[in-house]
Structure 1
């Protein structure tokens, strides 16, 4: 890996050197205005795969320089070092920045971000024709981001509630490295569930410049206060016309190449779009409510997956709206499904209140049995965020 670091901080230089075992070229002094001025100091060496810009002295200067690299050297991955990711996150994304590292990020976090930046730089240097059309679930966490699809054979089981809380919980563990896709393209409600009014929706992201250029796509994403990026569904079913499975698959391929986690909220059943998502999925979250029709429908879906040999080791079964006195017990559900249930979400009055307010439970940090179970679902994919003294929450865009 070829890495260029531009900084005035001796401490940052030391930690980047330790993270790379000394394999980094460091340039001291304030940031220049143009990439050419920085690269000139390499004395004829090849353009580095990864450029790390210390934005602590001037975010504006660093963002301008990053935007310059996006134009003059689009194959180079640019990382910023800043503790202002919430303030500059959207501007950084528009400037083509791949990651934002906290100034006090741990060595392991720096290594993860740099390794991912190298992979992205290598992918950008390859012809478009070599890009994979499907994701192998056994290797997807190496070749790209983890794609988690939330599915159910029927509606009304709380898929969007689970999807938004899962995505928000992951974003709290890895800010700006998670994107949530509303794939219920006719009646999706992710934007309302997150209290967002996005400027762009799914139709604009699967067509035109966004479909051709991932950098353009990233500027179309809505940013949630938790650091979560969102692809919202169309404003009306009419706008969904013409969006096919191939478009959806291409969008997910683009996002998986840029983000650590891609959470997909699907429509009920197995539509063309859901099947396209499942072709790219590394983990499947299957949801049923505590009623006979829902449980039997999920059993049929599990049988179908078994027949196809799909997701045998990557299924997460969630029983929602669980309560006593509904005619079925958790044991009945397990017996009907022929497998264990991984998580049981109890009925809670806090859920509809959360949905109506557009504030997911894991965003508000409300303590309740259902919140505890949702946090357990998040922990299946990412470890809990450390809040101990002297520890810094991970803060990077799309880091693996």
Structure 2
């Protein structure tokens, strides 16, 4: 199927650059305009599938986008030089289908045009079909240093690449989160940008702030299996701990507002599987995530301090917060048989079953973290990777079973 686009920019050099880029992607340039208000009539005349609109025209673009949306079937993609959260929200609210940073995201222009063209041609009944409620896994521990981020990042990668499901990874360790670095990415926008908006949060805006992990560009896995084609998007934690209070502290733009609840709802609406890398406390942000989770993956290690901490955490989760026991899955990380304490003994001591164990493998784990490459992709032959892949497959199986039961009830 061939695709066509009209380019609108007062910058002649930019028009030439965009025309060249889309031509390389096999997309027809159906016309160009230099005057902003010529764009609606040109769209009516040549009926392109997509209009590429330069944000440099200023606030008048919002009126033009609305006019095009009302008067034709052409979808609008806005092109800009920088990501401004306030402008981005106005763009999406006015009816645009995407916002592309020309300098840093220009390589995805062709794929965006094709995607938007297909969506625009899809009947509304098809576009509104739901995949069902999301499976949300909250990876939690009240003790640092137990490998929570390592587990969360590799679990998300395993869901996408070994189970073939679209997955979102949300970093809620607001002060010192590093989930994005586990994939070698450094996002320009983070969760704090969503909390600086003047109005509400929707899934289109949240998806725009998230960054896609380029899993297919990582080295081939040394494995016995094949990767599948799920997509993984990451919502990064703030780049500085100084701004964490804008998400759930005294510096919130709207005092007392629970931004995280809206953000998680939007992420879950867009992704069938969500993994949350949480901070190590029972602050408001984490309580919100625990409430929204379908599974709380509680991480512990076999040392006495961690086990004591885990016992206190289970007491709070089960008896104060009154979560059902079946909502909590206990994972023993860095398990080492040389320590002389068995999983069965630990389960008895905690009065709660250890459902999964991951062996200690510092060489694989540290190498993968330093390289920004999840070991479930590069070292799938190791026991630690096999354990997380098995966990991911179990989560998908449970999620499918849950959705089937809910469908029967409906």
Q: Distance in 2 between matches of 1:311 and 1:191?
A: 31
Superimposed CA distance per residue, residues 250-285 of structure 1 (whole angstroms, 9 cap, x where no aligned partner): 100111111111110001122221111112111111
- Normalising by structure 2, what TM-score? 0.62
Tell me which residue corresponds to 1:267.
Answer: 279
CA contact (8 A) 1:286 1:315 kept: yes
Tell me which residue corresponds to 2:128.
Answer: 118
SS at match of 1:270: coil
Matched, 1:195 2:195: no
Superimposed CA distance per residue, residues 62-108 of structure 1 (whole angstroms, 9 cap, x where no aligned partner): 66678349999999999xxxxxxxx85995499769989xxxxxxxx
| Unaligned ranges ≥5, structure 1 | 1-7, 9-29, 35-55, 79-86, 101-113, 121-140, 384-400
Give the deviation of 1:187 after TM superposition.
0.7
SS at match of 2:388: helix
Give the deviation of 1:304 after TM superposition.
2.4
Give the deviation of 1:347 after TM superposition.
0.6
Q: Distance in 2 between matches of 1:295 and 1:98?
A: 52
- Taking structure 1 as reference, are residues 382 and 63 closer, same or farther at Cα in structure 2, changes over 3 Å only? farther
Give the deviation of 1:147 after TM superposition.
1.4
- Taking structure 1 as reference, are residues 299 and 220 closer, same or farther at Cα in structure 2, changes over 3 Å only? same
CA contact (8 A) 1:204 1:210 kept: no
Q: Distance in 1 between matches of 2:115 and 2:288?
A: 30
CA contact (8 A) 2:4 2:28 kept: no
- Taking structure 1 as reference, are residues 179 and 99 closer, same or farther at Cα in structure 2, changes over 3 Å only? farther
Equivalent of 2:210, from 210, 213, 221? 221
Q: Distance in 2 between matches of 1:329 and 1:351?
A: 23
Give the deviation of 1:316 after TM superposition.
1.9
Q: CA RMSD in A?
A: 3.8
SS at match of 1:339: coil
SS at match of 1:248: helix
CA contact (8 A) 2:5 2:50 kept: no
Pairs aligned (count)? 293
- Taking structure 1 as reference, are residues 330 and 147 closer, same or farther at Cα in structure 2, changes over 3 Å only? same
CA contact (8 A) 1:77 1:117 kept: no
CA contact (8 A) 1:210 1:216 kept: no
Tell me which residue corresponds to 1:370.
Answer: 384
Q: For residues 229-378 of structure 1, what are the structure 2 equivalents within 5 Å?
A: 229-244=233-248, 246-307=258-319, 308-326=321-339, 328-348=341-361, 349-378=363-392
Superimposed CA distance per residue, residues 31-72 of structure 1 (whole angstroms, 9 cap, x where no aligned partner): 6769xxxxxxxxxxxxxxxxxxxxx98699766678349999
Q: Distance in 2 between matches of 1:354 and 1:374?
A: 14
| Unaligned ranges ≥5, structure 2 | 7-24, 30-47, 52-72, 79-90, 99-106, 216-230, 249-256, 398-410
- Taking structure 1 as reference, are residues 191 and 211 closer, same or farther at Cα in structure 2, changes over 3 Å only? farther
Q: Which has a greater percent of helix?
A: 2
Give the deviation of 1:366 after TM superposition.
3.2
Equivalent of 1:148, from 132, 137, 140? 137
Q: Distance in 2 between matches of 1:286 and 1:210?
A: 34
Superimposed CA distance per residue, residues 121-141 of structure 1 (whole angstroms, 9 cap, x where no aligned partner): xxxxxxxxxxxxxxxxxxxx8
Q: Distance in 2 between matches of 1:115 and 1:312?
A: 39
Bigger radius of gyration: 2
Q: For residues 48-197 of structure 1, what are the structure 2 equivalents within 5 Å?
A: 67-68=75-76, 92=112, 117-119=127-129, 142=132, 144-173=133-162, 177-197=166-186
SS at match of 2:75: helix
Q: Distance in 2 between matches of 1:73 and 1:317?
A: 42
SS at match of 1:380: helix
